[in-house]
Homo-oligomer: A and B are copies of this chain.
Amino acid sequence: MTINVTIFNEFLHERKIEAVREIYPDGIHMALAAALGQTDDINVQTATLQQPEHGLTEAVLAQTDVLLWWGHMAHDQVADEIVDRVQERVLKGMGLIVLHSGHFSKIFKRLMGTSCGIIWREAGEKERLWVVDPTHPIAQGIDRFIEIPQVEMYGEFFDIPEPDELIFISWFEGGEVFRSGATWRRGQGRVFYFRPGHETYPIYYQKDVLQVLRNAVYWAAFRGNTAVTGILNAPNMKEPLEEIK
């Protein structure tokens, strides 16, 4: 079965900043699309902030199994009605993978219910993401830790709800830790947050980082119990009691 992946990118840094363009000449979304689209069972398309409805029309979302979300400097420019639409689609079963600075995106804050605040520092320091849930499919094929030579630091307290599953914890050279890979169920949808990916470093070309994203796509694409989907509109259930009485 083919998995339909849509990669959303606000696509601003790459066009405005020469240093970013050198790393991701066609945009982060195109780099990710190239990496994820290499297998026959994943079909990738992209969407950007600049497109009508940010490229996330009803039609696009209806046929998307997993949505990846990259945003950083323009979270506020994402229209609330598109956020409503994406949230509703997640609750009905679409997977969502939120990347790096997407922790502050409207859609992530909407699904979490919290500020999603962090502490941070740009100092090009080293990061290690340690596997703490070795039976999770998202950690499959990864070593005991992923090492990234130069990153922007994100530190605790990360103001998220308690994750359903905590898969990676990051260590930073400068003295911080971070819950870098975590999952939450929201309605019928599966949500994964994954920290790596600052726009000024070539992190989305690193093999084990891409392996995690590929694992996450397969995991998030899972279709749950469809009998439950049918009742999400709070129906009045008269029958069972009458049967019993």
Contacts beyond the supplied A130-B155, A176-B240: 18 A-B pairs with Cβ under 8 Å: A91-B114, A93-B135, A111-B113, A113-B113, A119-B237, A121-B238, A125-B241, A128-B177, A132-B179, A135-B224, A161-B161, A161-B184, A169-B179, A170-B177, A171-B176, A172-B241, A173-B244, A177-B177
- Contact in complex: A130, B110 (CB < 8 Å): no
**Nearest-neighbor residue (CB-CB) of A223 within chain B:** B140
Q: State whether the Cβ of A59 lies closer than 8 Å to any Cβ in chain B.
A: no
Residues of B close to A34: CB separation below 8 A: none
- Interface residue ranges of A136-161 to B (CB < 8 Å): 136-137, 139-144, 153, 155-159, 161
Quick check: is A232 within 8 A (CB to CB) of the other chain? yes
Task: Answer whether residue A134 sits at the interface, using C-beta atoms and an 8 A cutoff.
Answer: yes
Most chain B beta carbons < 10 A, residue from A142, A171, A176, A222: A171
Contact (Cβ within 8 A) B175 A240: yes
B227 touching A144 by the CB < 8 A rule? Answer: yes
Residue of B nearest to A233 (CB): B117
B135 touches A162 (CB 8 A): no
A203 within 8 A of partner (CB) = no
Q: Which of A125, A162, A190 has the most CB of B within 10 A?
A: A162
- Which one, B117, B131, B137, contacts A157 given CB within 8 A? B131
**Residue A26, interface by CB 8 Å:** no
CA distance A111 to B235 in the complex (A): 23
Known: A174-B241, A175-B244, A235-B119. A135 touches B104 (CB 8 A): no
Residue in B132, B137, B227, B238 whose beta carbon sits within 8 Å of that of A131 in the complex: B227
Q: Is A105 an interface residue (CB 8 A)?
A: no
